[in-house]
Chain A
Amino acid sequence: MGNVASVANMLRHIRADEAIITRDPDVIRGADRVILPGVGSFQTGMQNLAEFGLIDALTDAAFVRRVPILGICLGMQLLTRSSEEGQLPGLGWLDALTVRFQFEQDTGLKIPHMGWSYVRPSRANVLLADGERERFYFVHAYHVICANKKDVIGVANYGFEFACAVNRDNVFGVQFHPEKSHRYGMSLLRKFASL
């Protein structure tokens, strides 16, 4: 997925002009908002965060400086304690696990879940529109299960209802791709950019 470039494109489009693509921990230490897009598998995602020395910088941003942080797709899964897609532990900022979709043979549901789905806000929050049925574009084979229901702010349905947007304090995550969800994604990123 070329989603890093796509996220940057949409941020430019909504005039969040100061957005920088970086893997430099010092840049993250100076950022007043952080987006963690996901590319590849959970295992390589965590490996890369460690290799580029980003875990400390991200933890500092989230819990010392307490700036808004948004994980997108794999980026949301990295916020959890662990994933069935890798042995390395996740960031563990949310009391949550990442598991693979599993369906009975006869449901006809494919993995990954790929396409547009409606998202229903499950509690009042600052990212999803209240009252409007927003739809977002998803591509994922794994989903997040939160131990604490209050961390879930949005759900979608694929075989069953799963958490597709999470928030605890200044930490946010979305399973879908706002950067590929035109108006709905722009609105979400705009809200995040103005937090």
Chain B
Amino acid sequence: MALKRILPVLLLDGRRLVKTVQFKNPAYIGDPLNAIRIFNEKEVDELVLLDISASRVRRAPQFDLIQECASECFMPFSYGGGVSSLDDFARLYKLGVEKVIVNTLCLTHPELVRRSTREFGSSSIVGSVDYRRTLFRHRRVFSSSGAVTGRGLLDHCRFLAEDVGVGELLLNSVDRDGTWQGYDVATIREIAEAVPVPLVACGGAGSVADLQEVLRETDANAAALGSMAVYQKKGQGVLISFPARHHVIPEEIEA
């Protein structure tokens, strides 16, 4: 019964923090280290840093920057982006990353992810799944690196949790990314009930009520926020901010 979590997801493009809308149009937010220092003050439950261009341009993780971030992070730190070998995992843990997040690698080399769960422990590895709806409203696994899978969304999530053995899933709705219109609660509920590992819900958070809905009304273990954590309001300027835990879950739901 670890507590439910509320966490910011920060996107790295080069060495700058950005925020996207439906995975497009990255807008400059600021310097990652400054942001992390502020999130320390806000006492967020965990910090997720995703390098959104690493896999797309087949670049390795920026280990020096990640190390600087880890050393400023007085909460659990999860990193994803460009991880492509067992050596990458080992280096990231050594730098102080608690959990390594893999997305493209789950599509291109699931056997390597499986080996990493054996070597480093499944609780240190998060499988990330991005999905979008097609014209006919089918949900399809999406990869910004262009990798593909024949599996549907639910099958892919189950495959990662049950077969590959990741310890957690980060489920991200591309359609909702940066839109502030609320989480895709129906999908989150369905997947969270179907997989045997904790699920982090991501994509669409726009208000405290959205966070409450996903934490109270689904089995998701964590609510992730992007835009809400880095903008004042929709369409307004950059402001690193974060809702206080006791405002979101005064009753402290335990998961």
Contacts and interface: CB of A to CB of B under 8 A. Distances in A.
The answer on A and B forming one complex is yes
Nearest to A177: B76
Contacts of B123: 110, 112, 114, 139
Nearest to B42: A182
Interface residues of B, number: 26
A182 B75 contact: yes
Contacts of A181: 74-75
Contacts of B2: 113-117, 138, 158
A48 interface: no
Given A109-B1, A118-B3, 8 more contacts: A1-B93, A5-B70, A110-B167, A115-B3, A115-B221, A117-B2, A117-B3, A183-B43
A6 B43 contact: no
A154 interface: no
Interface in A120-173: 135, 137-139, 157-159
Contacts of B167: 110, 114
Nearest to A109: B1
A113 B98 CA distance: 14
A157 B3 CA distance: 11
B96 A116 contact: no
Contacts of B71: 5-6, 9
A115 B3 CA distance: 7
B1 A117 contact: yes
A5 B74 contact: no
A58 interface: no
A118 B1 CA distance: 10
A181 to B, nearest CB: 7
A6 B76 CA distance: 10
A-B pairs, top 10 by smallest CB distance, nearest first, are A115-B2, A2-B96, A116-B3, A182-B74, A9-B71, A114-B123, A182-B43, A6-B96, A180-B76, A5-B96
Contacts of A5: 70-71, 95-96
Nearest to B245: A135
Interface residues of A, number: 31
Contacts of A135: 3
A10 interface: yes
A179 B74 contact: yes
Contacts of A90: none
Contacts of A185: 74
Interface string B79-115: 0000000000000011111100000000000000000
A113 B197 CA distance: 12
A182 to B, nearest CB: 5
A74 to B, nearest CB: 13
A2 B1 contact: no
A116 B5 CA distance: 8
Nearest to B43: A182
Nearest to B72: A9
Contacts of B40: 182
A13 B43 CA distance: 15
B45 interface: yes
B170 to A, nearest CB: 15
Given A114-B123, A116-B2, A137 B76 contact: yes
Contacts of B1: 109, 117, 157-159
Nearest to B74: A182
A115 B5 contact: yes
Interface string B165-187: 00100000000000000000000
A186 interface: yes
B43 A116 contact: no
